[in-house]
Structures are given as structure tokens and as C-alpha cells.
Structure 1
Amino acid sequence: MKLALSTLTLISLFLFPSVSLSNQVNLDISDETIHVAFATKPSKKSLNISASFLHHEDDGEVYSIGAFVQSPINNRQDLHGALGGRFYYLDADGPDGYGIGLGGEVGYKIPSVKGLSIHGEAYYAPKVTMFADIERFVDVSVRIKYRILEQGSVYLGYRSQKVHVEHSSSENIDEGAHVGISLQF
């Protein structure tokens, strides 16, 4: 299962940016992590697809493939939202597991500073949707992003990915600040 999911995620990561439907690539790093994410948007008001990979130097890897819908909130061009789900595979230091998390994203373009925006996302996979060693998984992140080029932004963010292991307590896979770039096509 691990090999199949790893292969599928890696193929998705390399195929998404090479097709004309890709619209965003994110790469962020911290002292102990590297995170790569791709998102496609086939057309307005259609299903969007995402794939990501996070490697933590000490605590393992998190693979995800997601599907979501995205649109402005209340027809406001400065506020957008997304709702959807992600299939996660976690190869943590010790516990392993897979499952489905539901959640979404909110983004706000700050009108007083051109190019500045704030984004937050949260996904939750409860015990009923997680399998193997993991009972729950929470994936939360926030970032402040500044568009420096027409097709490129830099950002500073904070991410928390926590697992609750069967017959144990919660463990962090990743928790802390990161810096990154976002490229739009």
C-alpha cells in the first residue's frame, strides 16, 4: 500500500505541473521540513485537484491527494473559500496510517496593501476515517503571502500536523514556522 500510494503521489506531483491545467505550485521549507504542493483548476466552478508531500527530518512523511471546490465568498473578490477532502498517507516515525480528512481553506486579500493576503486551511480526519495505527489526524496551517511578481509570491507560514496514535497520546509530525514560494500558471 505504501509503495503504491507513494508512487501515485509522486506521479501526480510530476504530472500536474506539466499539463496546461496546473495553476499553482507551492514549495516551503523549515529547518526540519520540506513541503511541496501542486493544485490544478480545470475550469471555474469545477472540481480542483491537489497533491502534496511533506518530509520531516525526524518525524516521517505525509502524502496527500485532494479534491475541492473553490469560489469567492458572498461574491467578494477579496475573500475566497474552498471545501473538500484529502486522502492522507502518513509514514510517521513509529505509527503509520491512512485515511480521509474533510476541511477547507479561507483566503483574504488585504485591500490596503496591494499583493498582501492571509490564508488558512484546516483538515480533520476522525477515527472513523483513519486506518492502521492512527486514530485521528489534524492538518492546520496559516500563512501570510505577498505577491512580488505577476506569477510569484513569497510567504511565511505556520503548520501543525498532529496524529493521535491508537492506545497512545498525540504526536506532532510537523509543528512550526516555514518560509516558501508560490508560483501561479
Structure 2
Amino acid sequence: MNYSRIPLFVLSLAAVPAFAADVDLSLTNESVKGQVNFFDNRSEIQVGTGYTYHEGSRHLLNVDFHAQGRTALGNLPATAGIGVKALGWDDDNDYDGGALGLGGFGTVNLPNVPGLSLHGALHYAPSILSFGDSEDMTSVELRASYRVIRNAEVFAGYRYLNTDLEDVKGDINLDEGVLAGIKIFF
């Protein structure tokens, strides 16, 4: 590790509140993910970027772009988004690739339990939108969140990120498992 970059890393983390709407940190049994979203749920667009380190020296980088808006699911207030998730990954086992997944997300607030919300996201990339060793990509995330204080929430859920390998029979789960994390709003 290059220790001369640590001050630059710390400085960039300190600057996140000036440019971000929220920061999301989550853990599974085999991975850690950080996600920064640049607009809040009142904006008409959402742009975010994230990095995941998976045990075994697998690195995943994502950039998300969605049109979003407030809506309702029955009588429940909700936020929905439709767009793309660009994902690139590198594995020390000589595999790497990426994809441009089409899909969206939805968050439903439960007014009967103030602070509780349910979130789901689904993105899929067929082979035409995949490159490198990826033949396709499926990304699913489900979570339940509870707003502990005005600017922070805790969540638990499940993450599944899978790709078929181009020249090999079979697929690999780039990241999968039960997750827990925190989200901080700025």
C-alpha cells in the first residue's frame, strides 16, 4: 500500500459532504461497499458512484445514473428511479469485465411506522451491453431501512451481483449475501 496517498484519501473523505447528498456504507460476510449519491430524493435525477472490495482481491466500481421522482404505491409515499448502472470489475484470477445494466429502483416509506422504509433495485445487462469476460450481468438489492435520527439510518437486506463468464461454462457471483449498513445524509 502506498502510504503517501493516505492524506489525499482523508482529504477527499472530508470533502464528501460538500458534494454529496448521502453516503452509504454496507458489509456482507465477504465484502464491504461504499456508495456516494450526489442528489437527494427531491431531485429529478440521481447520480452516484460506488466501490466494493470483495474478499479474494475482487474490486468492483459502479456509476449510476437515474431519472427519479416521487410517486405513490397505493397510499404509501414512494420514490422511484429508472436508468442505468455501469459496473466494472477486476478479479485477481485473470478475469475482469463490466456491463451497462438497465433497470431502476424504488423506495417505499411506511407511514404507520415512522422512519421505516423498504428499498429495492434491479438492473440487468444482456451480452450486447457487457464487455471483457462478462457475458451478462444481474444486479439485485433489497433492504429495509430505519431512520434513527434526522440525518442517519441503519439498514439490513440482501445483495446479489452475478455475471456469466464469456469463454467459460458457468457464472460467478461477484458479490452476494445478507448485508447490513448505515446511510448518512448531508
TM-score range, shorter chain: 0.7 to 0.9
Report how many residues are paired.
Answer: 173
> Once the two structures are superposed, what CA deviation does each residue of 1:149-183 show, in whole Å capped at 9, x if it has no partner?
10000000100010100132121111110110001
Instruction: Report the residue type matching 1:145 in the other structure.
Output: S
SS of the aligned residue for 1:78 comes to strand
Distance change in 2, residues 1:126/1:182 (3 Å) = same
Cα distance between partner residues in 2 of 1:171 and 1:183: 31
Distance change in 2, residues 1:43/1:54 (3 Å) = closer
Distance change in 2, residues 1:157/1:184 (3 Å) = same
Instruction: Report the residue type matching 1:182 in the other structure.
Output: K
Q: What residue in structure 2 maps to residue 139 of structure 1? A: 139
Q: What residue in structure 2 maps to residue 90 of structure 1? A: 89
SS of the aligned residue for 2:111 comes to coil
1:38 pairs, out of 20, 36, 39, with 36
22-31 or 59-68, which moves further after superposition?
59-68
Q: What residue in structure 2 maps to residue 3 of structure 1? A: none
Distance change in 2, residues 1:95/1:170 (3 Å) = same
Q: What residue in structure 1 maps to residue 67 of structure 2? A: 69
Is 1:63–1:89's contact at 8 Å kept on the other side of the alignment?
A: yes
Query: Structure 1 residue 101: deviation in Å?
Result: 1.1
Is 1:16–1:38's contact at 8 Å kept on the other side of the alignment?
A: no
Instruction: Report the residue type matching 2:132 in the other structure.
Output: A
Name the Cα RMSD after superposition: 2.3
SS of the aligned residue for 1:41 comes to coil
Instruction: Report the residue type matching 2:175 in the other structure.
Output: D
Q: What residue in structure 2 maps to residue 56 of structure 1? A: 54
Q: What residue in structure 2 maps to residue 177 of structure 1? A: 178
SS of the aligned residue for 1:68 comes to strand
Query: Which of these two proteins has the greater Rg computed from alpha carbons?
Result: 2
Does 2:139 match 1:103?
no
Q: What residue in structure 2 maps to residue 113 of structure 1? A: 113
% identical equivalent positions: 25
SS of the aligned residue for 1:17 comes to helix
Query: Structure 1 residue 79: deviation in Å?
Result: 1.2
Cα distance between partner residues in 1 of 2:14 and 2:101: 23
Structure 1 unmatched ranges of 5 or more:
1-9
SS of the aligned residue for 2:21 comes to strand
Q: What residue in structure 1 maps to residue 79 of structure 2? A: 80
Q: What residue in structure 1 maps to residue 4 of structure 2? A: none
Distance change in 2, residues 1:180/1:91 (3 Å) = same
Cα distance between partner residues in 2 of 1:109 and 1:71: 14
Cα distance between partner residues in 2 of 1:102 and 1:16: 30
